[in-house]
Structure 1
Amino acid sequence: MKLWPRFSQSVTDSWYAPAGGWTRCLKPLSWLFSFLAARRKQRLLQTARWSSPVPVIVVGNISVGGTGKTPLVAALVREFQRRGYRPGIISRGFGAKTRGMPLSVRPDSDPAKAGDEPVMLARQLHVPLIVDVDRVKAARYLCDQTDCNLIIADDGLQHYNLQRHIEVLVLDGDRLLGNQLCLPAGPLREPPERMSQVDMILVNTNHASVSAKAEEVESSLGLTTLEREKLYCFSLEPSALVSMTGISQPIPDKTRVHGVAGIGNPERFFNTLRALGYDVIGHPYPDHHVFAPEDICFNDDLPVIMTAKDAVKCSGFADHRHWYLPVTTRVSDSCIEQLVAMIEARKPVFAG
């Protein structure tokens, strides 16, 4: 293994180590990071911020790495559509080319230009989706060019120059906030106190008992009464494997497979495959990794299974050995109804 990936993995392991890990020695730098982040936030909140003519829901996180945020966005879009809303999505489009922004993303857009997650969402949802590193420009474009009456921002919790009406914080149920320190000593972009400021906390868990997981989260994070009241759990449930060739063929036997994941928490994906009965040879890559053919081709005939997000970047050179695993996001009705109630309560703001 090359030196940089080993060091990167060592840092991540330290952030989520039970005793806090070796990166705790970087706490002075974390204090500096927190101070500068707070100064930036205060400055942005004191400036004139653009306010959308329709409600804006920001779905984001305060930790580095994957939390299941983008699949949750897809589920929220579908749920709001069922309730008569016309949602549109804005996204930074990590890895997207800045030339030509704001960019309207279509199902056939190039992931190298629009970003992997936006293209995946465009293929799944067929709703207006605008990419721009400046979320305000993306939201303005969405309002000017479409008839959407609700904006859902995929990420952007720290993009404070966009006025938002509802904030949803997403946590990984396995990792939570790690050692609860800000970068670089820990995985946080903002201090844990940020949880008290959001409207809803959604925890990604595959646990069968949501109530038991909620109790575990409350105990681990020491949540206040107010924070407990806005805590909900959701789960990502695997669907049937899909062949990358588009040709109907039998799903590979539950035997040894290569697992490929360029996401924030690859081990979660590998564990999902193991839970389905596969003996997994894991191949983790950095989040938003730009794949080349050699990254997914190995010196054997074993099946290769990857995430849906990675599949959009590999479709041009995948063959009969390659599959991807879609997921279905389960969100409770009570969570959705609470979000709808928040939107309805804010309608007088937009009536004028």
Structure 2
Amino acid sequence: MLDAIWYKKSPLRWGLWPLAALFGLISGGRRWLYRTGCRHAYRSPLPVIVVGNLSVGGNGKTPVVIWLVEYLRQQGWRPAVVSRGYGGKAAHYPLCLAQTTTTAEGGDEPVLIMRRCQCPVVVSPKRAEAVRLLEQRGDVDIIITDDGLQHYALARDIELVVVDGARRFGNGCLLPMGPLREPLSRLATVSAVICNGGEAQAGEHAMQLMADVPRRVIDDAPLDHALGPQVDALAGIGHPPRFFATLRELGYELVQAQGYPDHHPFDADELRARFSERPLLMTEKDAVKCREFAAENWWYLPVRAELPEAFALTLNTLLKE
């Protein structure tokens, strides 16, 4: 229902206008309080880069975070990542992730980033607490926050907004009338806009997600044989159709293509019963939650972000300011 209202411009959206107006008043007022100093935002002595979006749902932030970690390392920085840890519930916060941290504790995206990048990752609903913990380590000199564009309690030096190039901003309205967390005018105040797929607009940096060789969920072993044209697929991400379209572009015929809500806590028995006849392909974000109970023929598709040289030059300029 909401998808139709947000992205197909259903006239039903006008019934939600009063709630959208209230949401805009509250969220805009909160930002104004931090901007004017009426509410205190924590300013870290380390540079802070926020990777976020204006709209709800999966826009491709995590691949951008991974790209940043790898690029900054190449430039001699020692990056770390902070996250709210959505989908996880730890016994205490801030929580510094370890190899043994589960997605039930740290959340799926932070665990994915930690395993892929092998960098410090700290989660906390209060991101400033996560940043302070990283400051105390002494082995970090720049911080990337995964999401958190609207988390104004943490001051930032660079703001990067990731846009879904296919869906863009839907009907352009605020929640719940549309998919926006903040009005489109907010884009004029950020450091850079990254367009994930689709056609980049003027002033945006075009990004493409490139698929790597599938890897087995239970042990990360790369695929060394053909799966056959017919497979099943699942995706518990913000926009599952994007993943299914990628698989079809790679030549797979999807017998089952089952989407789940973002950060969905999978049930082992349900998945094993549903996906028992054919090889199963999933996202890397799903794989970190399924590893403990995965079958031998379950695979995930790693993706990497490709960004233009112009973006790297822009980032370097911003880091020198």
Of 144, 160, 165, the match for 1:152: 144
Question: In the superposition, relative to structure 1, how do residues 15 and 295 fare at CA in structure 2: closer, same or farther (>3 Å)?
Answer: farther
The answer for the alignment partner of 1:334 in structure 2 is 310
Q: Distance in 2 between matches of 1:167 and 1:245?
A: 36
The answer for the alignment partner of 1:287 in structure 2 is 262
Tell me by how many angstroms 1:98 deviates.
Answer: 4.4
Of 6, 11, 16, the match for 1:15: 6
Q: Distance in 2 between matches of 1:300 and 1:34?
A: 47
Q: Is the 8 A contact 1:64 1:188 kept in 2?
A: yes
The answer for the alignment partner of 1:54 in structure 2 is 46
User: TM-score if structure 1 supplies the norm length?
Assistant: 0.86
Question: In the superposition, relative to structure 1, how do residues 336 and 28 fare at CA in structure 2: closer, same or farther (>3 Å)?
Answer: same
Deviations 1:216-237 (A, max 9, x none): x3xxxxxxxxxx43x2111111
The answer for the alignment partner of 1:6 in structure 2 is none
User: TM-score if structure 2 supplies the norm length?
Assistant: 0.94
Q: Distance in 1 between matches of 2:11 and 2:296?
A: 42
The question of 1:274 aligning with 2:248 is answered yes
Alignment length (residue pairs): 316
Q: Secondary structure at the match of 2:263?
A: coil
Letter in structure 2 aligned against 1:173: G
Letter in structure 1 aligned against 2:40: A
Deviations 1:291-335 (A, max 9, x none): 111343226521110000000000011111211000011011220
**Where do residues 112-261 of structure 1 align in structure 2 (5 Å cutoff)?**
112-205=104-197, 213-214=199-200, 217=201, 228-229=202-203, 231-246=204-219, 250-261=224-235
Tell me by how many angstroms 1:106 deviates.
Answer: 2.2
Letter in structure 1 aligned against 2:236: G
Q: Which runs of 4+ in 1 moved over 4 A?
A: 247-250
Q: Distance in 2 between matches of 1:313 and 1:115?
A: 9
The question of 1:37 aligning with 2:43 is answered no
Q: Is the 8 A contact 1:254 1:277 kept in 2?
A: no
Q: Secondary structure at the match of 1:168?
A: strand
Q: Secondary structure at the match of 1:93?
A: coil
Deviations 1:126-169 (A, max 9, x none): 11111001011111111112321111110000010111011001
Q: Is the 8 A contact 2:217 2:299 kept in 1?
A: yes
Of 258, 263, 279, the match for 1:303: 279
* Identical columns (%): 39
Unaligned regions of 5+ residues in structure 1, if any?
Answer: 1-9, 208-212, 218-227, 346-352
Q: Distance in 2 between matches of 1:266 and 1:106?
A: 29
Tell me by how many angstroms 1:176 deviates.
Answer: 0.7
Deviates more, 1:163-172 or 1:95-104: 95-104
Deviations 1:43-81 (A, max 9, x none): 233223221111111000111100000111000110111
Letter in structure 2 aligned against 1:260: L
The answer for the alignment partner of 1:77 in structure 2 is 69
Q: Distance in 1 between matches of 2:295 and 2:102?
A: 19
Q: Is the 8 A contact 1:258 1:303 kept in 2?
A: yes
Unaligned regions of 5+ residues in structure 2, if any?
Answer: none
Deviations 1:248-306 (A, max 9, x none): 76444342211100000000000000101111121000000001113432265211100
Letter in structure 2 aligned against 1:14: I
Q: Distance in 2 between matches of 1:63 and 1:171?
A: 8
Q: Distance in 2 between matches of 1:276 and 1:269?
A: 11
Letter in structure 2 aligned against 1:40: R
Q: Distance in 2 between matches of 1:180 and 1:309?
A: 28
Deviations 1:187-214 (A, max 9, x none): 0111111111111000101x5xxxxx22
The alignment yields a C-alpha RMSD, in angstroms, of: 1.6
Q: Secondary structure at the match of 2:65?
A: helix
